[in-house]
Structure 1
């Protein structure tokens, strides 16, 4: 089948090459033949795809893709739905209505729900996963985490999961990222208290230039100490702050040095550092994460930072080190943020730029 497709493709390419030189009736017939050749090629590819799918034991698809024309004639007696808690219920139903007998939903309803932009569809923010959890359908908790340094995992486990999540890695397996003067060398987490001021961007998004400048200094320190850009992630709740930090990093002078990490060539250029919203970082991980909280105002308004699930996602992306940049006075008006900051204060992990050697 692959040989037939290769031959048909070569014939089509050759015909297209000759088509411009044809004239009169030959040109009209040439266009007709081109259309027939394209149709035959599509049929061959469709036949090959059907052959592959019919012989496959496992088919991977998005929820919407499971309802595509290519899979129309297939049924799925066993469905494993990953990221089930972030999937809108109508989407989840697509694979489940294709002959499903057994279903396994994998997710975490203590993290962000489906993204629903229309106020008229707000009810769809309740995923099928969370609906089943509320109905007390039997569920199993994966109780061992293998991502984070134990010092990073201790607060989320205690505050969000009732202390049921244990560590499958040791502190020695997650050494603190170099380049920063950590308040506690055995606990690679710090909250940098910043007295900046938020500003409004497009579409009521928020930015904080003071925090953005500090984030760039943190990233610069990590890179200068030998971390690769691909191992550093900057996370922030607001699109305007994502754009501001991205612009500032893009303005950094290019660094031509290449670090050899794990057998792969990786750049230490600041422009290679990934900057995303909290929502965009769900399901991801980085060796070091810098989290810019943005909100800083006299009214103590935290906006959608009051969603504890967003906080949970933000502080559980890092493997080896987490740096939170924010304004404690504003954030502590929210009970979940107050719990985090109080926990870090008790552990001596709330500090300022001077104490960790990050003065401008």
Structure 2
């Protein structure tokens, strides 16, 4: 999938010889045209409340969620009025912090709190089976290894923590994405890395039921320097505003 992350390679290759087949044929085109092939337009992973963003922002509105996917939901405790009082979807949680570039203790603290709130809630699988949520039902991701290490320490050995790249191809009922940086313009690998559309796609689309994005509100005030960065920031803003 040319809209996800490429496989890491070693060595250099001339011109476009290192591209995947889809990268070479389609370049930046999100979906394959009818005259060139067949687009597999159904996801059997994501609840429609998660897939709606992925479809609209990444795949030109052409990706549909299989009907059975919507059985995948998290039971909300009675009288719960908190931020996690939804059965499925994308939840964006702003956490104010300053001066962080590759890691944020503030975001780590918030994620630990949210994870423990979700542990033990009832989860309904696609086949209708109900069970309690445990650590194996959650993936914790961050774009920077510094934040990954902080999350590992705070969450403990049972938590599945890694970079976005590490979890490509995997899935879980609940996904956490920590954006880490206080200000994208000051992040060491720059706007193009932090807001990379393919990386956001991979992170959010791991979720079967719920994706939780923890971020600094200042990221929404990022100053782009070119049209590509404007598009990246726009995608991130759409993610944060998705309901």
Shorter-chain TM range is 0.7 to 0.9
Tell me if the contact between 1:289 and 1:318 (Cα under 8 Å) persists in the aligned partners: yes
Instruction: Choose from 52, 63, 69 the match for 1:165.
Output: 63
> Is 1:339 matched up with 2:225?
no
Q: What is the TM-score of this pair, normalised by structure 2?
A: 0.76
What does residue range 347-358 of structure 1 map to in structure 2 within 5 Å?
A: 347=243
* 1:289 corresponding residue in structure 2: 175
Higher helix share: 1
> Is 1:222 matched up with 2:123?
no
> Is 1:150 matched up with 2:51?
no
Q: Which runs of 5+ in 2 are unaligned?
A: 122-131, 223-228
Distance 1:245 1:170, change over 3 A: same
* 2:211 corresponding residue in structure 1: 322
Deviation at 1:125, TM superposition (A): 5.3
Bigger Rg over Cα: 1
* 1:190 corresponding residue in structure 2: 91
Q: Which has the higher contact order (CA 8 A, sep 6+)?
A: 2
Q: Secondary structure at the match of 1:322?
A: strand
Distance 1:279 1:122, change over 3 A: farther
> Is 1:130 matched up with 2:36?
no
Q: Which runs of 5+ in 1 are unaligned?
A: 1-107, 201-205, 251-270, 348-360
Instruction: Choose from 233, 256, 273 the match for 2:159.
Output: 273
Distance 1:122 1:285, change over 3 A: farther
Distance 1:139 1:197, change over 3 A: farther
Q: What is the TM-score of this pair, normalised by structure 1?
A: 0.53
After superposing the two structures, state which structure 1 stretch, 164-173 or 313-322, moved more.
Answer: 164-173
What does residue range 301-320 of structure 1 map to in structure 2 within 5 Å?
A: 301=187, 302=191, 304-320=193-209
Distance 1:133 1:298 in 2: 29
Distance 1:311 1:167, change over 3 A: same
* 2:125 corresponding residue in structure 1: none
Distance 2:115 2:84 in 1: 17
Indicate the RMSD between aligned Cα atoms, in angstroms: 2.9
